[in-house]
Amino acid sequence: MQLIQVEIWTDGSCNPNPGDAGVGIVLKSNGRIKEISEFLGASTNNKAEVRAAIVGVLALNCPEQCDVTLYTDSDLIAVVFNGGWRARDTKPLMEQLKEVTSRCGRFRVVKVDR
């Protein structure tokens, strides 16, 4: 079975840090685009970034059939998923992100410049 190529572009932010936070997500697959935004309330930048990735992956109808590339400017997500240091204050969210991404047929993270 050939996996469906999916790009998930995410960003999360708050102002000030910590402060009111929100996320923006764009999913792209087979020429289709879906946009998602969500207000988080009080949070931190790192937590908002991880939450954006979780929301993006959870938006997939059949993740097991997807070859997902997550694009993020989050150093935390990129380093943790590419074998670097461990999350501390975001540990529960990172565990949730790892759990939802484990459902994907294939999953990888690409760090983009801000």
pLDDT for residue 55: 98
What is the residue-level pLDDT of the chain in tens, covering all 114 positions?
799 999 999 999 999 999 999 999 999 999 999 999 999 999 999 999 999 999 999 999 999 999 999 999 999 999 888 877 667 788 899 999 999 999 999 999 999 997
| Nearest residue to 96 (alpha-carbon basis) of 32, 47, 43, 62 | 47
pLDDT for residue 89: 82
pLDDT for residue 114: 75
DSSP-assigned letter for residue 88: S
pLDDT for residue 80: 87
Distance separating alpha carbons of residues 66 and 2, to the nearest angstrom: 9
Contact 75, 69 (CB under 8 A): no
pLDDT for residue 83: 76
> DSSP letter string over 8-63?
EEEEEEEETTTEEEEEEEEEEETTEEEEEEEEEEEE-HHHHHHHHHHHHHHT-S-G
pLDDT for residue 82: 82
Tokens 């565990």 identify what position? 95
Pull the structure tokens for residue 102: 């484990």
pLDDT for residue 53: 98
Distance separating alpha carbons of residues 97 and 95, to the nearest angstrom: 5
